Chain A
């Protein structure tokens, strides 16, 4: 069995109309790998959120560079999705730590934005955010296949013997 990861690499304009294109591509790759319907939906939302951040925040309007770099790396047991820009503009710390909405919060204080990264962190198994020439978000979703289920079943068989 080969351990070589396969890479799907795309550079697309950082424009709203291309977010759906990236989402469809991610969905196609995840589907090919055998992810469940729910996991594919999670992956679609996470990659779209990362792209939406780039579209909304990465580049100034008059910027010459206006590209997002999207890379899917397919391993045997997981898929990594990276979204990077070269906008350099966003302070990575400001993206972090935006939690869910609280019902105790007055409605007029609710924020329309800021849920994107929270969703990414909730829907994916591992998330890494770095700031370099721009923001680089790497998200991982593990593939829950039969072997995992078999392992879980094996573990539960052992446990009652205590």
Chain B
């Protein structure tokens, strides 16, 4: 089970491309990468088009990142969610509080 995260800077935004499965095992790696970016003042885009599994541990990381980005007055946007991943955000109500971009994916 793997998780790869590639962070690129584009037009003053940080874009994190996440690929793999996000669960209690891989979550630490995701949090260690995402949280400092969310605490920074640059806007953060998290591209989840390579994510085929996520559960509440992963959702919790995005909640933590959202709180951090609010504090630092940056923004956090999720993009590229597949139907399954999007459904989880909808079931939990997180789509109401997290900015989810309908566009398929960030240009690589």
Complexed CA–CA distance, A116 and B60 (Å): 10
Are A103 and B93 in contact, CB atoms less than 8 angstroms apart?
yes
Contacts of A103 in B (CB 8 A): 93, 96-97
Contacts of A20 in B (CB 8 A): 1, 21, 23, 25
With CB as the reference atom, state the residue of chain B lying closest to A119: B56
Interface footprint category on A = 20 to 34
Partner of A115, one of B1, B56, B96: B56
The contact string, 1 if C-beta is below 8 Å from chain B, for chain A 81-105, is 0000000000000000000111101
Contacts of A23 in B (CB 8 A): 23
Complexed CA–CA distance, A122 and B67 (Å): 25
Are B93 and A100 in contact, CB atoms less than 8 angstroms apart?
yes
Minimal beta-carbon separation of A142 from chain B (angstroms)? 19
Partner of B97, one of A16, A56, A101, A116: A101
List chain B positions with a Cβ less than 8 A from chain A.
1, 21, 23-25, 28, 53, 55-57, 59-61, 63-64, 66-67, 70-71, 84, 88, 91-94, 96-97
List chain A positions with a Cβ less than 8 A from chain B.
16-17, 19-20, 23, 38, 41, 44-45, 48-49, 51-52, 55-56, 100-103, 105, 107-108, 110-113, 115-116, 118-119, 122-123
